[in-house]
Amino acid sequence: MTITTSPELVDARVPRDRVAAETTSDQHSLPDWHQLLAAFRGEIGRLPGDNLVTRWASDFASLHRVRHLNPNRSAEIDCRRRQIVILVDSWTETYVTTTSHGGSSRRSFGAAADLLAAAYVAAEYCLMAAEDASAAPVHAAWERVAELACRWNDLVAENPGRWQPSGVADQDRR
């Protein structure tokens, strides 16, 4: 799949959108909520060898910031966000052995990361715009981030342990 985007939307210095496995053990693990928030802040997810999900989480936050600053580009930005959701979900289908819950449909890790990024960026802007950091809207915005971080934690907890490409675990049991 070839995905194109304008250079202003993502940092072109870092190669991305390669779902190919990299060699470090952390590459095949879902990041916890702490790591996602660090990616939203730009602390991780930009160096070669960083977990691809943290790279994409960083992209989600960047896209939400650009969308906030330039609403005229919403359609283009939303299209790119949908592409990244698909990348995250494809990666998890390949590298995360999920548990089955009585035939329930698999939840989207990409959509969950995007939603958390949106809430995080909204909380940042709310805090920057507030005259009082302890104001109710600021508190409510960060409560939303905490709620979604807990949901991400629950989603990751449904798939415990170190992961390997789907199907490998089934072959090991034979």
Compute the residue count for the chain: 174
Does the residue 134 lie in any domain?
Answer: yes
Residue 55 structural domain: 26-166
Greatest distance between any 2 Cα atoms in the chain: 62
For the chain, give the percent of residues with pLDDT over 70.
70
Two structure tokens written together for 6: 């304008």
Does the residue 18 lie in any domain?
Answer: no
Q: How many CB atoms lie within 10 A of CB 81?
A: 22
Residue 120 has pLDDT above 80, yes or no: yes
| Structure confidence at residue 168 (pLDDT) | 44
Q: Does the predicted TM-score (pTM) go above 0.85?
A: no
Does the residue 9 lie in any domain?
Answer: no
Does the residue 98 lie in any domain?
Answer: yes
Residues 136-147, mean pLDDT to the nearest whole number: 98
Structural domain total, the chain = 1
Confidence of residue 5 (pLDDT cuts 50, 70, 90): very low
Higher pLDDT, 54 or 96: 54
Does the residue 136 lie in any domain?
Answer: yes
